[in-house]
Chain A
């Protein structure tokens, strides 16, 4: 096959890779992108997007179930609902398909050449791609590694049979009757909650003393409370040991050291994700590492000249929007613009029930850095709009510097909280002070008023509490 020569080669068409390629194309850089499976990466195909579709379907089903059970506060009754999970998955797949096509179209519009196949470095300037039609050699002046991450497998619970990763969990044919979730992080809890709402009997096994260990206890309390209400059993300080010999149960060593057997027709293992650093010839170019990740500087340059890396393969937080921002930045650097990574916050959303949103520093993180802070929270139970949505759990919390009231961090937990993330990250990125938020008119009646009130309360004069 004829060799391709280009200015820029992007390996991996996930959110980081495809954004990098599109932006580079817009800037007139001759760009090729290689993707092994389908454009969109983990996020679009087996991550963010499909999981949110399934979570939404589960919410709808739960609402119908509560109405049928006469538990609806709204006075609505319906007959007992039923779900055809295959149809739900087909709906989810259509969304994914539309977005795949959309990304492919955007790449084309930006004059980016897409090559489907598995890429492998031959040397620092040359990559060979196994395509359906043979081996394609691509020579590039600059290469961006955007290979992403993959679910971590437990050696005693290898994927296959009843043991599934998040990928398989999003394409089940039917709702499992009993689901064991190993790992109480955000992925396990998002999916575990959805299946609980769809009728599974869910048990979450978490090795650490509490769920969502990256968040403080205040933020996770409403989530724990909701899991309990949904009948999800949470075993903290417990270790998964393996499948039972019959393969119908998960063996667990509980916090007290006792052996437990959790009946499960599916075991979902969500113990984290690892960077994809194998199988594409990293050993040929021998880049410096930062733990498991590829080491990068503030311009996403690796230790080899002309090779950049972006996204999950470069470290935490492994989030699509971080990869996108890095991809855009790298494309602009390659076009000769002066750029470096100078973001003040990478917001994170956990789509549990209720949702958790964070941007910037938590109170504990700020204190650890030795910053004297002011902090207060405003509960959604005092917010009119939250009441009308029948979702009063949770709060908005602001962390500000005590001396000049600079907002350092904003966290919220509450239904629909994810959409508040825009205001949170904007405030931090713009360098807002408490007075800036307090001085901004927030529309009534919305949940965003809780943001305003949290600022007022931190200043000592909240109005609605």
Chain B
């Protein structure tokens, strides 16, 4: 038997280290070639690390949340045949203090099934336990009367304590209602099987380590809010004409073209507006004291993904027409949601659009995508009665909530910019007329 050492690969140009955000395996798991071992995260992109060999996981070299330099060993796999990388085996597993029973999260995976990849066994196990209802709860004999101390061995008590589980909430299936390790597993995966009548005090505290994308978002938001004095300006825009145009274009579009949302129109309007006010399409390097005004308009679009907020970038919006913008928005949104957006696609914006439009909301106070100087927020389009001078007429109204870095953008300039966007959007033909 030999040993294969997997080192953190070079995950992107100029990346010297990456944060380990997820382990897909644990020590003792059997893995097949190409099975995903771990996920690491660089500035923005998440990269999965596959196994190059079949074998058994011997050692994991980092904990979730650790930052690992490129080239350092992260996994050791026992393989059949000679060792492929001869390095001394560390004397013990990475966690010498790990308690004998596995932490509850991973408990579901049965220890080892020969010749079967770990992920498959875990999946089967969860399926089988999901299919099994709770027949054991009924075989437990007498249910524990309210107020009675839960019965459990010291090891079970300790595990519960460490997992933050209140044993009073756990039904015991062992003799005399004893809470077993299996009961804890079941509780951890299913939640309280037996709900005791009446309102219950809950004392558990779930601790969630802030790692990966969430940590990056947290750091970025804190940086933006602590450095940038925001000024937020809200204006309403009559988009009745724009919506009519959009509906017509969508009704007559070629089948291979992406359906238009408000976003491509707004992007084109932005390009036009920042052409007149280049100070808004800029990066403010406040450490160096330099503002970089960009000729290209690279529009970040805030997108919600299962992992959290990411901002893919439509590059060179000034060189894209309406349909091209729409196609690029769709492509990037899909990539971001699938987690396949590249580092390049997630960096380099010079101004950002954020939209919570679908959720409703009258106004927002967007946080600037540091180190940019402006962000435009789109609120929901709603039909509102508007006074046209003689009567109230129903109009499709949309608010724009935009924030600016008040260190370099004066309130006047911000207002001029938003008013320009408003006039472009209210008379959409102006977006497309040159000069």
- Chain A residues close to B by CB (< 8 Å): 337-340, 342, 401, 403-406, 429-431, 433, 435-436
Contact indicator A433/B176 (Cβ below 8 Å): yes
CB proximity of A354 to chain B, nearest CB, Å:
30
Q: How large is the interface on B (under 10, 10 to 19, 20 to 34, 35 or more residues)?
A: 10 to 19
Contact indicator B176/A431 (Cβ below 8 Å): yes
Known: A403-B142, A404-B142. A338 touches B162 (CB 8 A): yes
CB proximity of B170 to chain A, nearest CB, Å:
13
Query: Nearest chain-A residue to B141 (Cβ)?
Result: A404
CB proximity of B76 to chain A, nearest CB, Å:
26
Contact indicator A435/B175 (Cβ below 8 Å): yes
Contact indicator B161/A431 (Cβ below 8 Å): no
Q: Which residue, A339, A342, A405, A429, has most C-beta atoms of chain B within 10 A?
A: A342
Query: Nearest chain-B residue to A400 (Cβ)?
Result: B176
Which residues from chain A contact B157 at a C-beta distance below 8 Å?
342
Query: Nearest chain-B residue to A435 (Cβ)?
Result: B175
Which residues from chain B contact A338 at a C-beta distance below 8 Å?
161-162, 164
Contact indicator B176/A404 (Cβ below 8 Å): yes
B174 on interface, CB distance cutoff 8 Å = yes
Q: Which residue, A403, A431, A433, A435, has most C-beta atoms of chain B within 10 A?
A: A431
Known: A404-B142, A435-B175. A429 touches B154 (CB 8 A): yes
Known: A404-B176, A436-B175. A431 touches B152 (CB 8 A): yes
CB proximity of A107 to chain B, nearest CB, Å:
21
Query: Nearest chain-A residue to B97 (Cβ)?
Result: A27
Rounded to whole angstroms, the CA-CA distance of A338 and B177 in the bound complex is 25
Query: Nearest chain-A residue to B157 (Cβ)?
Result: A342
CB proximity of A267 to chain B, nearest CB, Å:
44
- Inter-chain pairs besides A404-B175, A431-B152, 7 sampled, C-beta below 8 Å: A340-B161, A404-B177, A405-B176, A431-B151, A431-B153, A435-B175, A436-B175
B119 on interface, CB distance cutoff 8 Å = no
Please report whether the interface of chain A is mostly helix, strand, loop or mixed according to DSSP. loop
Chain B 347-388 interface residues, beta-carbon cutoff 8 Å to A: none
Rounded to whole angstroms, the CA-CA distance of A345 and B385 in the bound complex is 74
Query: Nearest chain-A residue to B163 (Cβ)?
Result: A338
Chain B 177-207 interface residues, beta-carbon cutoff 8 Å to A: 177-178
Rounded to whole angstroms, the CA-CA distance of A338 and B161 in the bound complex is 6
Which residues from chain B contact A429 at a C-beta distance below 8 Å?
153-154
Contact indicator B176/A337 (Cβ below 8 Å): no
Which residues from chain B contact A406 at a C-beta distance below 8 Å?
151, 176
Rounded to whole angstroms, the CA-CA distance of A339 and B151 in the bound complex is 17
Rounded to whole angstroms, the CA-CA distance of A337 and B159 in the bound complex is 11
Query: Nearest chain-B residue to A407 (Cβ)?
Result: B176
Query: Which one, B152, B161, B176, contacts A401 given CB within 8 A?
Result: B176
Q: Which residue, B142, B164, B178, has most C-beta atoms of chain A within 10 A?
A: B178
Known: A404-B142, A404-B176. A430 touches B161 (CB 8 A): no
CB proximity of B165 to chain A, nearest CB, Å:
10
Query: Which one, B153, B164, B177, contacts A430 given CB within 8 A?
Result: B153
CB proximity of A136 to chain B, nearest CB, Å:
34
Which residues from chain B contact A342 at a C-beta distance below 8 Å?
154, 157, 161
Query: Nearest chain-A residue to B158 (Cβ)?
Result: A339
Which residues from chain A contact B142 at a C-beta distance below 8 Å?
403-404
What are some 7 contacts across the A-B interface (CB < 8 A)? A338-B161, A338-B162, A342-B154, A429-B153, A431-B175, A433-B175, A436-B175
Which residues from chain A contact B176 at a C-beta distance below 8 Å?
401, 404-406, 431, 433
Chain B 116-156 interface residues, beta-carbon cutoff 8 Å to A: 141-142, 151-154
Contact indicator B174/A431 (Cβ below 8 Å): yes
Query: Nearest chain-B residue to A406 (Cβ)?
Result: B176
Rounded to whole angstroms, the CA-CA distance of A337 and B153 in the bound complex is 19
Contact indicator B162/A337 (Cβ below 8 Å): yes
Which residues from chain A contact B177 at a C-beta distance below 8 Å?
404
Which residues from chain A contact B174 at a C-beta distance below 8 Å?
431
Query: Which one, B141, B162, B178, contacts A431 given CB within 8 A?
Result: B178
Which residues from chain A contact B141 at a C-beta distance below 8 Å?
404
Which residues from chain A contact B178 at a C-beta distance below 8 Å?
431
Query: Nearest chain-B residue to A429 (Cβ)?
Result: B154
Rounded to whole angstroms, the CA-CA distance of A433 and B153 in the bound complex is 12
Query: Nearest chain-A residue to B140 (Cβ)?
Result: A404
